[in-house]
Structure 1
């Protein structure tokens, strides 16, 4: 279990088909879904949220956290962020231990934005899944494929395998309980999500077979929300949206659950977790399971010590009630 962790600076402020190409699929209509995912329990989003940690300064001190993913077997958390001094699409992957300390990092050039990432445990190793081959060498750059590689502290990615090449705005999230990966990308102008078992992965050919679910991302709120992350557990997609704000009265961060078998929103809830954080901005979601077996829905917020502070801190919270 991660425990509350405050840096000295933090204390000052806290007081089937083979899939390769994006063009290989036809358009989907709103709410269209094809799925056969065994029905699972879902998180009750109205229940309280609890701290995982607050006030953690990541390797790239001046950029906010983005996506995150847990290696629940090896008790590790990985968090992506844009690299300090980069043109906007170069990323850093931080590795954290269970105390919330950063224990390693890797740099990935020309990757994208890192809104959501995945991790796949393999024995004592962790394999990272992240967008790559950005379509633009600036802040607007987004991945056109997914890269899979072993995390090695301080090293550049090697032995990289690429999946879903030729995609548009592709990211992923992983389900560590059911050993699955969820792919999100634009298809015919709409964000589409496709779910696979890791057991259907062909590493050498960079493909998946036996698709479990396919949905068009449903409308969230009034449709003009700022999408900030997503994850998957069993037969449910979870999303995080909202904007950064200096005033707690401006909180508009929502967590939402979506049924992967129907493509419909099940629950949408305004979360005020970490409401005392300065310039609190929602960033990233992930599923984990504690060493005691409790399954948790984690979601993050970037923050500062003051609105003008150049440093950005990572803060993670969780919900743990399944219904």
Structure 2
């Protein structure tokens, strides 16, 4: 480790989690080398299997994303809060067990849209990494890190949140954590386009965003973006819309994989028929989990149910090539 990097980390810790970008030390597009370790990838053409279907969340709105605490065996699902404006950035995080049974919730005010988030296990606690400080369109303008508290309520102005601005000039952020390869992917809006940065979790937890493992402009992928996650060397995207007269069964939910070291599409888009018999069926979220037996799984989320009674559904793929 160089002295320059040590000095930057010390400065970040002293600044209470202020990102390098906020200090004027950010990097530009294409400045980072691609150095994500080689790994197998999920074959998106293989079948999907059920974890659970049609489970209620704390609020009755459509789920937006989900994430696992793989150490403490917890599942969290993000959704817009009941009765709030879609541009307010008010979220509800529901905790479920792995059978889809309700455990608890936490309300977040002024955070963002909930497209993607991550969970960092800290001993017996689960700490969430989400977007925060919603703009006028309801999307978070920074990343925030905070402890999940059962039944808690947190405002975006709370001092309990450590905030980061990893990329200079970026105006919107979301993230996803790969618990197997211990990386964090940060998707952000910059210069009119979406970019992906990948960091070692050890660096992210230290507040050091100076040395991304990969950084590239998101390739063109057709469809409505509904979630993303990473596993090793590959990024996975979920796109699509709910069933409708113009989008009948089997729908248009598709999966695409991207090589993090090149920024190029590896496989897809591939139509997924997971949960094909669901009522409504809107694709919502991707996440990675590894079982106790060592099987890695790519999880796909879908919302189901009637308006005013939306439900959560999770499926997974497990074939690596």
Normalised by the length of structure 2, the TM-score is 0.86
Give aligned pairs, total.
Answer: 293
Pairing partner for 1:76 from 54, 74, 77: 74
Measured in 2, the distance between the counterparts of 1:65 and 1:201 equals: 26
Mark the CA change 1:118 to 1:202 in structure 2 (over 3 Å): closer, same or farther.
closer
Contact 2:32 2:211 in 1 (8 A): no
Match of 2:259 in 1: 259
Pairing partner for 2:190 from 173, 176, 187: 187
SS of equivalent residue, structure 1 residue 267: strand
SS of equivalent residue, structure 1 residue 53: strand
Measured in 1, the distance between the counterparts of 2:225 and 2:23 equals: 21
Contact 2:227 2:286 in 1 (8 A): yes
Measured in 1, the distance between the counterparts of 2:271 and 2:112 equals: 28
Residue 302 (structure 1) aligned with residue 303 (structure 2):
yes
Long gaps (5+) in structure 1: 1-15
Q: Please tell me the root mean square deviation across aligned C-alpha atoms, in Å.
A: 2.0
Match of 2:85 in 1: 87
Match of 2:11 in 1: none
Mark the CA change 1:48 to 1:33 in structure 2 (over 3 Å): closer, same or farther.
farther
SS of equivalent residue, structure 1 residue 144: strand
Measured in 2, the distance between the counterparts of 1:53 and 1:169 equals: 32
Mark the CA change 1:94 to 1:216 in structure 2 (over 3 Å): closer, same or farther.
same
Long gaps (5+) in structure 2: 9-18
Partner deviation per Cα, 1:276-296 (whole Å, 9 max, x = no partner): 111111000000011211100
Q: Alpha-carbon deviation of 1:159?
A: 2.3
Match of 1:5 in 2: none
Contact 2:29 2:216 in 1 (8 A): no
Contact 2:249 2:276 in 1 (8 A): no
Measured in 2, the distance between the counterparts of 1:27 and 1:190 equals: 11
Q: Alpha-carbon deviation of 1:141?
A: 1.0
Residue 152 (structure 1) aligned with residue 149 (structure 2):
yes
Partner deviation per Cα, 1:190-239 (whole Å, 9 max, x = no partner): 10110111111354xx4433211111110113xxx100000001010000
Contact 2:240 2:254 in 1 (8 A): yes
Match of 2:104 in 1: 104
Match of 1:46 in 2: 45
Pairing partner for 2:171 from 168, 171, 181: 168
Match runs of 1:1-323 below 5 Å: 19-21=20-22, 24-27=26-29, 34-61=33-60, 63-88=61-86, 89-136=89-136, 140-157=137-154, 159-164=160-165, 167-201=170-204, 203=206, 206-221=207-222, 225-246=223-244, 248-249=248-249, 251-268=251-268, 269-305=270-306, 309-323=307-321
Normalised by the length of structure 1, the TM-score is 0.85
SS of equivalent residue, structure 1 residue 48: coil
Mark the CA change 1:121 to 1:229 in structure 2 (over 3 Å): closer, same or farther.
same
Mark the CA change 1:302 to 1:124 in structure 2 (over 3 Å): closer, same or farther.
same
